[in-house]
Chains A and B, each alone.
Chain A
Amino acid sequence: MKRGPFDPNQPIDPRDDSAMPPGIPDDLIDSICDGDMPRSKMRDALDSLHLERNTVSDYHWTADALDALRADMHTPDMSEIILARTGMQRSWLSTVMRRKMVIGRVAGVAAVLTLIAGAFLIQRAAPETFTTDPTPVRELAAAVPHDAIHAASIIAKPVAYTVPAAPIDDEACFMPDARSADSWGTNLLTMDSLRDLWPSRSPAPYAMPQITPVGFTPGTMALIVPVLPEEDRASSAAITAGQR
Protein backbone atom coordinates (compact mmCIF):
# COMPACT_ATOMS: atom_id res chain seq x y z
CA MET A 1 0.00 0.00 0.00
CA LYS A 2 1.41 3.34 -1.08
CA ARG A 3 1.41 5.90 1.65
CA GLY A 4 1.96 9.58 1.17
CA PRO A 5 4.39 11.59 3.34
CA PHE A 6 2.87 12.68 6.60
CA ASP A 7 3.16 16.27 7.70
CA PRO A 8 3.08 16.35 11.51
CA ASN A 9 2.33 20.08 11.49
CA GLN A 10 -0.98 19.60 9.70
CA PRO A 11 -3.95 19.16 12.06
CA ILE A 12 -5.57 15.75 11.94
CA ASP A 13 -9.28 15.34 12.25
CA PRO A 14 -9.99 11.72 13.22
CA ARG A 15 -13.66 12.03 12.18
CA ASP A 16 -12.73 13.20 8.72
CA ASP A 17 -11.97 10.04 6.76
CA SER A 18 -10.83 12.00 3.75
CA ALA A 19 -8.12 13.61 5.85
CA MET A 20 -6.60 10.28 6.76
CA PRO A 21 -4.47 8.42 4.31
CA PRO A 22 -5.15 4.72 3.95
CA GLY A 23 -3.49 3.06 6.94
CA ILE A 24 -1.33 4.96 9.40
CA PRO A 25 1.62 6.58 7.74
CA ASP A 26 5.02 5.53 9.03
CA ASP A 27 6.05 9.16 9.21
CA LEU A 28 3.36 9.74 11.81
CA ILE A 29 4.64 6.97 14.03
CA ASP A 30 8.23 8.11 13.50
CA SER A 31 7.30 11.63 14.46
CA ILE A 32 5.61 10.40 17.62
CA CYS A 33 8.46 8.08 18.54
CA ASP A 34 11.15 10.67 17.76
CA GLY A 35 9.46 13.19 20.00
CA ASP A 36 9.54 15.68 17.13
CA MET A 37 5.83 16.25 17.18
CA PRO A 38 4.49 19.18 19.20
CA ARG A 39 2.38 18.12 22.18
CA SER A 40 -0.71 19.75 20.73
CA LYS A 41 -0.40 17.66 17.57
CA MET A 42 0.44 14.51 19.49
CA ARG A 43 -3.08 14.24 20.90
CA ASP A 44 -4.68 14.43 17.49
CA ALA A 45 -2.22 11.94 16.11
CA LEU A 46 -2.85 9.44 18.89
CA ASP A 47 -6.58 9.83 18.42
CA SER A 48 -6.18 9.12 14.75
CA LEU A 49 -4.32 5.91 15.52
CA HIS A 50 -7.43 4.48 17.17
CA LEU A 51 -9.08 4.35 13.76
CA GLU A 52 -7.07 1.30 12.86
CA ARG A 53 -7.05 -1.45 15.45
CA ASN A 54 -4.11 -3.41 14.05
CA THR A 55 -1.95 -0.36 13.59
CA VAL A 56 -2.76 0.74 17.12
CA SER A 57 -1.71 -2.65 18.39
CA ASP A 58 1.55 -2.53 16.44
CA TYR A 59 2.25 0.99 17.59
CA HIS A 60 1.61 0.11 21.20
CA TRP A 61 3.86 -2.90 20.99
CA THR A 62 6.62 -0.75 19.55
CA ALA A 63 6.05 2.06 22.00
CA ASP A 64 5.95 -0.34 24.93
CA ALA A 65 9.07 -2.08 23.73
CA LEU A 66 10.91 1.21 23.40
CA ASP A 67 9.66 2.32 26.80
CA ALA A 68 10.78 -0.99 28.23
CA LEU A 69 14.28 -0.26 27.01
CA ARG A 70 14.36 2.65 29.41
CA ALA A 71 13.28 0.50 32.32
CA ASP A 72 15.80 0.14 35.11
CA MET A 73 18.09 -2.77 34.57
CA HIS A 74 19.73 -4.52 37.44
CA THR A 75 23.39 -3.62 37.18
CA PRO A 76 26.03 -5.19 39.40
CA ASP A 77 28.20 -2.62 41.19
CA MET A 78 31.59 -2.96 39.57
CA SER A 79 33.20 0.13 41.09
CA GLU A 80 35.33 -1.72 43.66
CA ILE A 81 36.57 -4.26 41.14
CA ILE A 82 37.38 -1.53 38.64
CA LEU A 83 39.20 0.58 41.23
CA ALA A 84 41.15 -2.45 42.42
CA ARG A 85 42.15 -3.27 38.85
CA THR A 86 43.04 0.34 38.15
CA GLY A 87 45.01 0.46 41.40
CA MET A 88 47.62 -1.79 39.84
CA GLN A 89 48.40 0.94 37.34
CA ARG A 90 47.93 4.02 39.46
CA SER A 91 47.52 4.85 43.13
CA TRP A 92 44.28 6.17 44.54
CA LEU A 93 43.89 8.40 47.53
CA SER A 94 40.82 9.16 49.54
CA THR A 95 39.45 12.68 49.35
CA VAL A 96 40.74 13.47 52.85
CA MET A 97 44.21 12.16 52.10
CA ARG A 98 44.29 13.99 48.82
CA ARG A 99 43.30 17.24 50.54
CA LYS A 100 46.05 16.73 53.09
CA MET A 101 48.49 16.05 50.31
CA VAL A 102 47.48 19.17 48.42
CA ILE A 103 47.82 21.25 51.59
CA GLY A 104 51.23 19.68 52.25
CA ARG A 105 52.41 20.46 48.73
CA VAL A 106 51.20 24.05 48.95
CA ALA A 107 52.90 24.44 52.33
CA GLY A 108 56.12 22.97 50.97
CA VAL A 109 56.15 25.31 47.99
CA ALA A 110 55.35 28.28 50.23
CA ALA A 111 58.21 27.32 52.58
CA VAL A 112 60.70 27.05 49.73
CA LEU A 113 59.59 30.40 48.29
CA THR A 114 59.86 32.03 51.71
CA LEU A 115 63.35 30.57 52.13
CA ILE A 116 64.48 31.87 48.77
CA ALA A 117 62.98 35.31 49.39
CA GLY A 118 64.63 35.48 52.84
CA ALA A 119 68.00 34.48 51.45
CA PHE A 120 67.66 37.07 48.72
CA LEU A 121 66.85 39.81 51.20
CA ILE A 122 69.77 38.81 53.48
CA GLN A 123 72.12 38.73 50.52
CA ARG A 124 70.99 42.21 49.56
CA ALA A 125 71.41 43.55 53.08
CA ALA A 126 74.68 41.79 53.95
CA PRO A 127 76.43 40.37 50.92
CA GLU A 128 79.19 38.66 52.94
CA THR A 129 76.72 36.53 54.92
CA PHE A 130 76.66 33.53 52.67
CA THR A 131 79.96 33.77 50.77
CA THR A 132 83.39 35.37 50.99
CA ASP A 133 84.28 34.77 47.42
CA PRO A 134 85.15 38.00 45.62
CA THR A 135 82.69 39.15 43.14
CA PRO A 136 83.74 41.23 40.11
CA VAL A 137 81.93 44.31 41.29
CA ARG A 138 83.27 44.12 44.82
CA GLU A 139 86.82 43.55 43.55
CA LEU A 140 86.53 46.54 41.28
CA ALA A 141 85.18 48.67 44.07
CA ALA A 142 88.11 47.68 46.26
CA ALA A 143 90.64 48.16 43.47
CA VAL A 144 89.61 51.71 42.56
CA PRO A 145 90.81 53.46 45.76
CA HIS A 146 93.93 51.29 45.84
CA ASP A 147 94.76 52.20 42.27
CA ALA A 148 94.07 55.83 42.98
CA ILE A 149 96.52 55.87 45.92
CA HIS A 150 99.13 54.07 43.87
CA ALA A 151 98.73 56.48 41.00
CA ALA A 152 99.03 59.43 43.35
CA SER A 153 102.25 58.04 44.82
CA ILE A 154 103.72 57.56 41.37
CA ILE A 155 102.89 61.08 40.42
CA ALA A 156 104.29 62.50 43.64
CA LYS A 157 107.63 60.62 43.45
CA PRO A 158 110.36 62.13 41.29
CA VAL A 159 111.50 59.48 38.96
CA ALA A 160 114.82 60.88 37.75
CA TYR A 161 117.30 63.73 37.82
CA THR A 162 118.26 65.44 34.66
CA VAL A 163 121.89 66.32 34.74
CA PRO A 164 124.03 67.82 32.00
CA ALA A 165 126.49 65.28 30.74
CA ALA A 166 130.18 66.10 30.43
CA PRO A 167 131.85 65.51 27.11
CA ILE A 168 132.94 61.93 26.98
CA ASP A 169 135.98 60.69 25.23
CA ASP A 170 135.00 57.66 23.32
CA GLU A 171 138.30 55.90 23.80
CA ALA A 172 138.58 56.67 27.49
CA CYS A 173 135.15 55.43 28.14
CA PHE A 174 135.56 52.22 26.17
CA MET A 175 131.98 52.50 25.23
CA PRO A 176 131.36 51.07 21.82
CA ASP A 177 127.84 52.37 21.86
CA ALA A 178 128.74 55.78 23.15
CA ARG A 179 127.79 58.41 20.64
CA SER A 180 129.70 61.49 19.80
CA ALA A 181 128.70 64.71 21.34
CA ASP A 182 126.41 66.80 19.34
CA SER A 183 126.75 70.44 18.60
CA TRP A 184 126.09 71.37 22.24
CA GLY A 185 128.92 69.14 23.48
CA THR A 186 126.82 66.65 25.32
CA ASN A 187 126.69 62.94 24.97
CA LEU A 188 123.68 60.79 25.28
CA LEU A 189 124.44 57.61 27.11
CA THR A 190 122.02 54.92 26.32
CA MET A 191 121.00 52.39 28.92
CA ASP A 192 123.16 49.81 27.18
CA SER A 193 126.13 52.12 27.39
CA LEU A 194 125.62 52.67 31.08
CA ARG A 195 125.38 48.97 31.71
CA ASP A 196 128.63 48.46 29.83
CA LEU A 197 130.44 50.92 32.07
CA TRP A 198 130.67 48.29 34.75
CA PRO A 199 132.63 45.15 34.20
CA SER A 200 130.44 42.15 33.69
CA ARG A 201 132.50 40.08 36.13
CA SER A 202 131.69 42.17 39.13
CA PRO A 203 128.23 43.21 40.05
CA ALA A 204 127.30 46.78 39.97
CA PRO A 205 127.94 48.53 43.26
CA TYR A 206 124.32 49.52 43.42
CA ALA A 207 121.12 48.28 42.11
CA MET A 208 120.09 49.57 38.74
CA PRO A 209 116.81 51.33 39.10
CA GLN A 210 114.27 51.63 36.43
CA ILE A 211 114.84 54.81 34.53
CA THR A 212 112.04 56.47 32.86
CA PRO A 213 112.64 59.37 30.50
CA VAL A 214 110.55 62.21 31.71
CA GLY A 215 110.86 64.29 28.61
CA PHE A 216 112.86 64.92 25.56
CA THR A 217 113.18 67.92 23.41
CA PRO A 218 115.59 68.24 20.50
CA GLY A 219 117.21 71.34 21.91
CA THR A 220 118.21 69.88 25.30
CA MET A 221 120.01 66.63 24.95
CA ALA A 222 120.28 65.15 28.39
CA LEU A 223 121.73 62.17 30.08
CA ILE A 224 119.39 60.46 32.35
CA VAL A 225 121.23 58.70 35.07
CA PRO A 226 120.03 56.86 38.11
CA VAL A 227 120.01 58.47 41.48
CA LEU A 228 123.17 57.28 43.14
CA PRO A 229 124.47 57.48 46.64
CA GLU A 230 127.24 59.98 47.19
CA GLU A 231 130.18 57.52 47.35
CA ASP A 232 128.86 55.63 44.35
CA ARG A 233 128.53 58.82 42.46
CA ALA A 234 132.27 59.40 42.90
CA SER A 235 133.00 55.87 41.83
CA SER A 236 130.88 56.35 38.82
CA ALA A 237 132.69 59.54 37.95
CA ALA A 238 135.97 57.68 38.15
CA ILE A 239 134.69 55.05 35.82
CA THR A 240 133.50 57.69 33.47
CA ALA A 241 136.96 59.27 33.60
CA GLY A 242 138.52 55.93 32.76
CA GLN A 243 140.28 55.51 36.08
CA ARG A 244 138.90 52.07 36.73
Chain B
Amino acid sequence: MERREEARIIEQAAAGDRDAASTLIKAHQASLYAYMLRMSGRPEVAEDIVQDAFVRVLANLHRFDPRFRFSTWLFTIAKRLYVNACQKYKPVFDSEIVGSWQGGDDSPASPTIEYEQQTRARSAIDRALQSLSDEQREIIVLFHQQEWPITQIAEFMGMPEGTVKSHLHRGRRKMRQFFQDHMRDEVVALELEFEA
Protein backbone atom coordinates (compact mmCIF):
# COMPACT_ATOMS: atom_id res chain seq x y z
CA MET B 1 0.00 0.00 0.00
CA GLU B 2 1.39 3.40 -0.93
CA ARG B 3 1.96 5.82 1.90
CA ARG B 4 -0.42 8.41 0.48
CA GLU B 5 -3.16 5.84 0.11
CA GLU B 6 -2.38 4.52 3.56
CA ALA B 7 -2.54 8.04 5.03
CA ARG B 8 -5.98 8.51 3.48
CA ILE B 9 -7.22 5.21 4.92
CA ILE B 10 -5.80 6.06 8.34
CA GLU B 11 -7.57 9.41 8.24
CA GLN B 12 -10.87 7.74 7.38
CA ALA B 13 -10.42 5.10 10.06
CA ALA B 14 -9.61 7.79 12.62
CA ALA B 15 -12.89 9.46 11.67
CA GLY B 16 -14.74 6.23 12.51
CA ASP B 17 -14.95 4.53 9.12
CA ARG B 18 -15.29 0.81 9.81
CA ASP B 19 -14.40 -0.24 6.28
CA ALA B 20 -11.21 1.82 6.33
CA ALA B 21 -10.23 0.32 9.68
CA SER B 22 -10.86 -3.15 8.30
CA THR B 23 -8.71 -2.39 5.25
CA LEU B 24 -5.93 -1.17 7.50
CA ILE B 25 -6.04 -4.31 9.61
CA LYS B 26 -6.05 -6.61 6.60
CA ALA B 27 -3.12 -4.75 5.05
CA HIS B 28 -0.88 -5.21 8.09
CA GLN B 29 -2.11 -8.21 10.05
CA ALA B 30 -0.19 -10.80 8.01
CA SER B 31 3.18 -9.11 8.35
CA LEU B 32 2.67 -8.35 12.02
CA TYR B 33 1.48 -11.87 12.72
CA ALA B 34 4.47 -13.36 10.89
CA TYR B 35 6.83 -11.11 12.79
CA MET B 36 5.27 -11.96 16.14
CA LEU B 37 5.20 -15.65 15.32
CA ARG B 38 8.90 -15.58 14.50
CA MET B 39 9.61 -13.66 17.66
CA SER B 40 7.42 -15.60 20.07
CA GLY B 41 7.33 -18.99 18.41
CA ARG B 42 3.74 -19.47 19.59
CA PRO B 43 0.78 -18.89 17.29
CA GLU B 44 -1.65 -18.17 20.12
CA VAL B 45 0.68 -15.59 21.65
CA ALA B 46 1.29 -14.01 18.25
CA GLU B 47 -2.45 -13.85 17.63
CA ASP B 48 -3.15 -12.25 21.00
CA ILE B 49 -0.43 -9.69 20.54
CA VAL B 50 -1.58 -8.81 17.03
CA GLN B 51 -5.13 -8.28 18.27
CA ASP B 52 -4.03 -6.22 21.25
CA ALA B 53 -1.70 -4.13 19.12
CA PHE B 54 -4.44 -3.33 16.59
CA VAL B 55 -6.94 -2.53 19.35
CA ARG B 56 -4.48 -0.04 20.84
CA VAL B 57 -3.59 1.43 17.50
CA LEU B 58 -7.19 1.90 16.41
CA ALA B 59 -8.14 3.42 19.76
CA ASN B 60 -5.31 5.94 19.42
CA LEU B 61 -5.36 6.46 15.69
CA HIS B 62 -5.90 10.21 16.10
CA ARG B 63 -2.46 10.38 17.74
CA PHE B 64 -0.67 8.88 14.76
CA ASP B 65 1.92 11.20 13.27
CA PRO B 66 1.73 10.79 9.48
CA ARG B 67 5.38 11.80 9.12
CA PHE B 68 6.30 8.32 10.34
CA ARG B 69 5.52 4.94 8.86
CA PHE B 70 2.36 3.33 10.14
CA SER B 71 4.02 -0.09 10.13
CA THR B 72 6.84 1.18 12.38
CA TRP B 73 4.30 2.53 14.85
CA LEU B 74 2.27 -0.66 14.77
CA PHE B 75 5.31 -2.90 15.18
CA THR B 76 6.63 -0.76 18.03
CA ILE B 77 3.37 -1.16 19.94
CA ALA B 78 3.32 -4.88 19.19
CA LYS B 79 6.89 -5.26 20.34
CA ARG B 80 6.11 -3.54 23.65
CA LEU B 81 3.17 -5.85 24.11
CA TYR B 82 5.40 -8.79 23.29
CA VAL B 83 7.97 -7.73 25.87
CA ASN B 84 5.17 -7.47 28.43
CA ALA B 85 3.82 -10.85 27.33
CA CYS B 86 7.26 -12.39 27.71
CA GLN B 87 6.99 -11.76 31.41
CA LYS B 88 3.84 -13.90 31.43
CA TYR B 89 4.71 -16.47 28.78
CA LYS B 90 8.30 -17.45 28.46
CA PRO B 91 8.69 -17.99 24.71
CA VAL B 92 9.26 -21.66 24.10
CA PHE B 93 9.83 -22.01 20.41
CA ASP B 94 7.86 -24.88 19.01
CA SER B 95 9.19 -25.37 15.51
CA GLU B 96 6.57 -28.02 14.72
CA ILE B 97 3.75 -25.58 15.42
CA VAL B 98 5.42 -22.73 13.55
CA GLY B 99 6.17 -25.05 10.64
CA SER B 100 2.58 -26.19 10.49
CA TRP B 101 1.35 -22.60 10.42
CA GLN B 102 3.39 -21.45 7.47
CA GLY B 103 2.89 -22.33 3.85
CA GLY B 104 -0.64 -23.53 4.49
CA ASP B 105 -1.17 -24.39 0.84
CA ASP B 106 1.34 -27.22 0.92
CA SER B 107 -0.42 -30.52 0.98
CA PRO B 108 1.14 -33.26 3.07
CA ALA B 109 -0.72 -35.87 1.04
CA SER B 110 2.25 -36.65 -1.20
CA PRO B 111 5.41 -37.00 0.87
CA THR B 112 7.95 -36.39 -1.83
CA ILE B 113 11.57 -35.75 -1.05
CA GLU B 114 11.01 -32.13 -2.04
CA TYR B 115 8.09 -31.73 0.37
CA GLU B 116 9.99 -33.44 3.14
CA GLN B 117 12.97 -31.22 2.49
CA GLN B 118 10.76 -28.15 2.63
CA THR B 119 9.24 -29.23 5.92
CA ARG B 120 12.60 -29.99 7.40
CA ALA B 121 13.95 -26.73 6.02
CA ARG B 122 11.21 -24.79 7.77
CA SER B 123 11.91 -26.56 10.94
CA ALA B 124 15.58 -25.85 10.45
CA ILE B 125 14.90 -22.16 9.84
CA ASP B 126 12.96 -21.91 13.06
CA ARG B 127 15.67 -23.67 14.96
CA ALA B 128 18.34 -21.54 13.31
CA LEU B 129 16.43 -18.40 14.21
CA GLN B 130 16.13 -19.53 17.78
CA SER B 131 19.88 -20.01 17.93
CA LEU B 132 20.27 -16.25 17.44
CA SER B 133 20.13 -13.53 20.03
CA ASP B 134 16.85 -11.59 20.30
CA GLU B 135 18.27 -8.58 18.46
CA GLN B 136 19.82 -10.65 15.68
CA ARG B 137 16.62 -12.62 15.23
CA GLU B 138 14.47 -9.52 15.19
CA ILE B 139 16.70 -7.75 12.67
CA ILE B 140 16.88 -10.79 10.40
CA VAL B 141 13.11 -11.18 10.50
CA LEU B 142 12.54 -7.50 9.80
CA PHE B 143 15.09 -7.40 6.99
CA HIS B 144 14.45 -10.70 5.26
CA GLN B 145 10.84 -11.43 6.14
CA GLN B 146 9.33 -7.95 6.35
CA GLU B 147 11.78 -6.57 3.78
CA TRP B 148 12.23 -3.39 5.74
CA PRO B 149 15.16 -1.19 4.68
CA ILE B 150 18.05 -0.81 7.10
CA THR B 151 17.05 2.80 7.83
CA GLN B 152 13.57 1.75 8.96
CA ILE B 153 14.95 -1.05 11.11
CA ALA B 154 17.42 1.37 12.69
CA GLU B 155 14.58 3.78 13.42
CA PHE B 156 12.43 0.98 14.82
CA MET B 157 15.18 -0.55 16.93
CA GLY B 158 16.57 2.80 18.02
CA MET B 159 20.12 2.03 17.00
CA PRO B 160 22.55 3.27 14.32
CA GLU B 161 22.37 1.74 10.88
CA GLY B 162 25.90 0.38 11.23
CA THR B 163 24.92 -1.51 14.36
CA VAL B 164 21.86 -2.92 12.58
CA LYS B 165 24.04 -4.15 9.72
CA SER B 166 26.49 -5.64 12.16
CA HIS B 167 23.71 -7.56 13.92
CA LEU B 168 22.34 -8.64 10.56
CA HIS B 169 25.66 -10.01 9.34
CA ARG B 170 26.45 -11.76 12.59
CA GLY B 171 23.01 -13.27 12.68
CA ARG B 172 23.32 -14.61 9.17
CA ARG B 173 26.76 -16.06 9.87
CA LYS B 174 25.36 -17.74 12.94
CA MET B 175 22.60 -19.20 10.84
CA ARG B 176 25.10 -20.45 8.29
CA GLN B 177 27.12 -21.97 11.07
CA PHE B 178 23.98 -23.63 12.37
CA PHE B 179 23.30 -25.14 8.96
CA GLN B 180 26.90 -26.28 8.70
CA ASP B 181 26.68 -27.98 12.07
CA HIS B 182 23.22 -29.49 11.87
CA MET B 183 21.75 -29.58 8.43
CA ARG B 184 24.37 -30.99 6.14
CA ASP B 185 24.32 -34.41 7.73
CA GLU B 186 20.57 -34.29 8.00
CA VAL B 187 20.14 -33.56 4.30
CA VAL B 188 22.53 -36.27 3.31
CA ALA B 189 20.68 -38.70 5.55
CA LEU B 190 17.38 -37.65 4.08
CA GLU B 191 18.64 -38.09 0.52
CA LEU B 192 19.98 -41.52 1.40
CA GLU B 193 16.68 -42.41 3.06
CA PHE B 194 14.68 -41.56 -0.05
CA GLU B 195 17.15 -43.22 -2.37
CA ALA B 196 16.78 -46.40 -0.34
On A, residues with C-beta under 8 Å from B are 26, 29-30, 33-34, 54, 57-59, 61-62, 64-66, 68-79, 81-83, 85-86, 89-95, 98
Contact = CB atoms under 8 A, between A and B. Distances in A.
B7 interface: no
A34 B161 CA distance: 13
18 contacts: A33-B172, A62-B176, A66-B140, A69-B38, A72-B103, A73-B30, A74-B102, A76-B33, A77-B26, A78-B47, A78-B51, A83-B25, A83-B58, A89-B59, A90-B59, A93-B18, A95-B19, A98-B12
B82 to A, nearest CB: 16
Given A74-B102, A94-B18, A95-B20, A58 B179 contact: yes
Given A62-B172, A62-B175, A82-B25, A98 B125 contact: no
B15 to A, nearest CB: 7
Nearest to A67: B144
A83 B17 CA distance: 11
A8 B108 CA distance: 42
B55 A82 contact: yes
Contact of A75 (B15, B30, B55, B179): B30
B76 interface: no
Nearest to A82: B54
Contact of A64 (B15, B38, B121): B121
A85 B191 CA distance: 50
Contacts of B179: 58, 61-62, 65
A95 B21 CA distance: 10
B128 A65 contact: yes
Contacts of B38: 69
Given A61-B179, A81-B51, A75 B33 contact: yes
Closest 4 CB pairs of A and B: A74-B104, A92-B18, A61-B179, A69-B145
Contacts, number: 127
A49 to B, nearest CB: 12
Contacts of A95: 12, 17-20
Interface residues of B, number: 50
B121 A68 contact: yes
A29 B176 contact: yes
Interface in B131-179: 140-141, 144-145, 147, 165, 168-169, 172-173, 175-176, 179
A73 B102 contact: yes
B50 to A, nearest CB: 6
B81 interface: no
A68 B118 CA distance: 9
Contacts of A82: 25, 51, 54-55, 58
B183 interface: yes
Nearest to A93: B16
A90 B28 CA distance: 21
Given A73-B34, A79-B29, A94 B19 contact: yes
B122 interface: yes
A90 B13 CA distance: 11
B103 A65 contact: no
Contacts of A72: 30, 102-105
Contacts of B26: 77, 79
B55 A73 contact: no
Given A83-B58, A98-B15, 8 more contacts: A29-B176, A34-B168, A66-B140, A76-B47, A78-B50, A85-B55, A90-B16, A93-B16
Contact of A83 (B12, B21, B125): B21
